[in-house]
A and B are shown apart, each in its own frame.
Chain A
């Protein structure tokens, strides 16, 4: 039984009706068969309609959908021979970030990504994809391996954010993120990052300083979550924030793939099937694969010095600044 978001409820109702009819139609009743066809078309159109005008908040909910493909799903679908590596060699292995070597279109690469997990137990074990410093330090260790062995890096971004906790602060959450930004900006190997779900602030960017930054059509990437933003803007003592306020906050933040593309922050949007990546993971993955392959071969044609110069320029020019005349 697939999981439907609130705004998908009309589609969900239609689809359950279709299911019911299909059960009844076992006898091969032609009238029912044509009715099923009619309803299926109606459901398809309805879904297409809903997805053609998603609000920023609805996109955020799709980006966080529990059934949305995660890093390990994509690794399974677009790479071969994944060998997972563990641990930061300092403190622990953080299961909210996974990574290792894998073969991608015949190229051996280092792949790293956030992993939220599925089902209560796994999600708790992976801390819902919210890394501690050891997660970022494991990622850094793998980035350094990639540099030494001259393997390109592919990172998959999908996190609400770095974990806000006592241990995380004690062990230097801020330093671990800063260190990754620093090292990624000069890492002597091509890097491609794909936001596959949620790009939550610094905890996302810590895997996202790349030569190419791509986003799936219904993913989001933001400096703060809509909830955090709404709380800052509208939270008064004890009042519950409303759906409407989340809508307003996410609109204000301009956090969709389309917004970021317009602002020149990302390089390309990878389309998703109608209904979102989770309705057809294989199709989505195959589009991801094609897109990444194209960017990777472009990057690998250039000298690494050129790639690094361009990487520096890419982030150096980001921002909106007015120069006043003296």
Chain B
């Protein structure tokens, strides 16, 4: 098969992909007609790779239309370290805001899913790699605390490179903050469902994302603690096929299930109806 892959690769290199009409799949490296991918909920029709989509699209796919009420929407980042970089952190934030049309890497709010009230927080990779700084941590804690107060389920969808370097130690501390918030939430009887999308890494995986009562991943998503390149450089070996993909995590017992995007809403509804409802015996 090696020659076949290589050939495909050279083709994809030769063919210039015009923005808009065609799109290259990260899963199978094929060039696919963009409309076909869009029609398919941004999933590759050839290999079922789930393309990264925006937080707003994810929310729309999951909730009852018109039921979303945002919380923490007025929170924005500061530059606590006065971080030195070619592009100052404040500039990077402005760029990210323009590019993603979001104020920060997470959108949180209360919502209904098939009539079930729930708190939902979604990370967007388009905003500085979905990284967790003070605002993402704060939004998560607010969401989780509100879910505790109102005794409703908590749902998160992550797509993130991890903790945000530009806020240094304060980003690291968001891992403690979000995990502590989950610990508080879990004193109650409502479920925390964590949905992992491509990619979920570092400080996000190593905090709230892996603390779900139920953990679901989108097919073929890359999920892990250390990034594959860092591992490769450390062990100086090639990584096995499928390493850190959702299916690999399922096989190693790290997640409950791999669910197609088109089935996600139904799966969540089924789980909610199972956990939140159904305690009366039918006579």
Contacts and interface: CB of A to CB of B under 8 A. Distances in A.
Specify whether A and B are partners.
yes
Interface of A: 162-166, 168-175, 177-179, 181-183, 185-186, 201-202, 205-206, 208-209, 221-224, 229, 232-233, 248, 251-255, 259-260, 263, 265, 311-312, 315-316, 318-326
A172 B210 CA distance: 9
Range of interface residues on B (Cβ < 8 Å): 35 or more
21 contacts: A169-B224, A174-B224, A178-B175, A178-B179, A181-B176, A182-B179, A185-B179, A202-B225, A205-B172, A252-B84, A254-B169, A263-B169, A319-B167, A319-B177, A320-B77, A320-B79, A321-B76, A322-B78, A323-B75, A324-B75, A325-B74
B191 interface: no
B53 interface: no
Nearest to A232: B165
B263 interface: no
A205 B170 contact: no
Residue of A185, A208, A319 with highest tally of chain B CB at under 10 A: A319
User: Closest 7 interchain pairs by CB?
Assistant: A319-B134, A164-B226, A185-B180, A181-B179, A320-B80, A174-B205, A173-B225
Given A178-B208, A181-B175, A320-B79, 4 more contacts: A209-B180, A223-B167, A252-B84, A319-B173
Interface in B108-144: 133-135, 137-138, 141
Contacts of B171: 223
Nearest to B186: A182
Interface of B: 74-81, 83-86, 103, 133-135, 137-138, 141, 163-165, 167-177, 179-184, 202-203, 205-211, 224-227, 230-231, 234-235, 237, 239-240, 243-244, 252-254
B127 to A, nearest CB: 16
Nearest to A186: B183
Given A181-B207, A319-B134, A320-B77, A205 B177 contact: no
Contact of A222 (B133, B137, B168): B168
Given A177-B206, A320-B134, A185 B176 contact: yes
Contacts of A172: 210, 252-254
